[in-house]
Amino acid sequence: MKCYLCNAIISGRYYRDGHGNCICASHYEQKEAVQCFSCGAFTYNSPEFTLLDGRHLCPVCMAQGVNSVEQIQRIKKQILYFFANEDIFFHNRTLDDVSINIVGVTEIARMRNSSISLANKGVTITKSMSSLIGMALGQKSKMTHSVYILDHLIKIEFAATLAHEFMHIWQNENGVKLEPKKCEGLCNLGSWLIYNKITSANTPYLLKSLMENPDPIYGDGFRYVYNRYQELGTEGILNLAIKGNL
C-alpha cells in the first residue's frame, strides 16, 4: 500500500481518512499532515492552505470555495427546486427577499451571540416588522430574513448549510417553536435531503459526518427527526412541527 502523501510503500502503522487514503502514521503524528476541514481528506499542513481562522483545506477544496453571487443564486435555486419536490414551500416561494451573505467565522459568532466555533457554518436572522395600520387591520407582521454563511465552503457543503438555514426560515415563517434539539434536527433534515439530491465526490463523507455527528443537539436532534421522517415522510413531519408535536 502506498502513502497518499509521500508515495512510499507503507510498512508500519498508518492512518486512513474518510476517502480511503492511507498515510504513514508519522506524517499525522508529527503534524506534517492534517485533515481538510471541508472534505476530510489528508493534506499537507501548509500555511498556503491554512485560512486565518485556522481551517486547513486541501488544494482541491481551497480552489472550490463558493464566493460569487452567481454561484449562490444557482445553489439557492437548486435547493428551492428540491425542497418544492418535498412540498417544502416558503411564503415568498422564490425567497428573493432573503439576503445571503458570505462572512467570516467572527461575524457568524457575533450574529449568533456565541463564542467562535467552526462547527457553526451559518446563521439566520429573522426580523418581524408590523406597522400600526397593519396591526389595526389584523395583518400578520412582515418577516425579513438574512442568512450568513461561512466563507470558503465547497459547493456541496455550502448547499447543505444553506438548506439548513432555509429550514430555520421555514420554521420562523410558520411560527414553529421547537426545543433546540428538534429545531436543529429538522434543519439538518434539510441538509440531509440535499445530500441525497446533489451527488459529488464529497457527498458520502459529508453525509456520514451529518449522520454520525456526536453533538447532543445537532447530531442526536437530527437522528430523532430522521427516525420520525422515515415513518412519516416530509409532509407528516412538517405537519407535526406546525402543530408543535414533533
The C-alpha cell 466555533 sits at: 117
Residues 156-215 that bind Zn ion (CB under 5 A): 184, 187
CA atoms of 180 and 194, how far apart (whole Å): 21
Question: Is 36 a binder of Zn ion (CB under 5 A)?
Answer: yes
Question: Is 38 a binder of Zn ion (CB under 5 A)?
Answer: yes
Question: Which is nearer to Zn ion, 51 or 134 (by Cβ)?
Answer: 51
Question: Which is nearer to Zn ion, 10 or 242 (by Cβ)?
Answer: 10
Among 61, 88, 156, 193, binds Zn ion (CB under 5 A): 61
Return the C-alpha cell found at 91. 411564503
- Strand pairing report for 142-150 and 42-44: unpaired
Strand partners, 150: 103
Strand partners, 99: 146
In the bound complex, what is the minimum distance in angstroms from residue 139's beta carbon to Zn ion? 29
Question: Is 24 a binder of Zn ion (CB under 5 A)?
Answer: yes
Candidates 37-45, 66-74, 75-83, 127-135: pick the segment binding Zn ion (CB under 5 A).
37-45
In the bound complex, what is the minimum distance in angstroms from residue 60's beta carbon to Zn ion? 5
**CB contact at 8 A, 129 and 144:** yes
Number of residues this chain uses to bind Zn ion (CB under 5 A): 10
Residue-wise DSSP of 191-238: HHHHHTTS--TTHHHHHHHHHH---TTHHHHHHHHHHHHHHHHHHHHH
Question: Is 62 a binder of Zn ion (CB under 5 A)?
Answer: no
Q: Which residues bind Zn ion (CB under 5 A)?
A: 3, 6, 24, 36, 38-39, 58, 61, 184, 187
